[in-house]
Amino acid sequence: MTQLVSAVAAAALGVRPRQVSVNLADAEGRLDLTVRVPLRVLPPEWAAAADAGDEPNDPARTEPAQRQIRSRVAELSGSEIGRVTVRLTQARIHLPGRTP
């Protein structure tokens, strides 16, 4: 289940599955998911020229990712998913056009 959640979260947040850390917890019969991924940011000299929303996984994108993770994991596993928490960790420089 951890690998499934990791793969789904990686796809939703644009990172590699090995960059995703997952914790699973039982919540009265539902499965609560906590996902930790690095915050990918553009280099400062590129960020000024980028349009809003071009950041690879800016904090505003975590809510849609939570919904996507919840629905996709439920669909693939058949489990009832409770809360999904996405925590953005250490910042990593991301150059557009390069693999995450």
pLDDT tens per residue across all 100 residues of the chain: 999 999 999 999 888 899 999 999 999 999 999 999 987 666 666 555 555 444 545 566 788 999 999 999 999 999 999 999 999 887 766 665 555 5
Q: Which residues make Cβ contacts (< 8 Å) with residue 84, sequence separation at least 6? A: 32, 33, 35, 66, 67, 69, 70
CATH of the domain at 52: 3.30.70
How many separate domains does the chain show? Answer: 1
Its pTM stands at: 0.75
Per the structure, the complete domain to which residue 60 belongs is given by 2-93
Residue 100 within any structural domain of the chain: no
Q: Which residues have a Cβ under 8 Å from the Cβ of 93 and sit 6 or more positions away?
A: 40, 41, 42, 43
Assigned domain for 98 exists: no
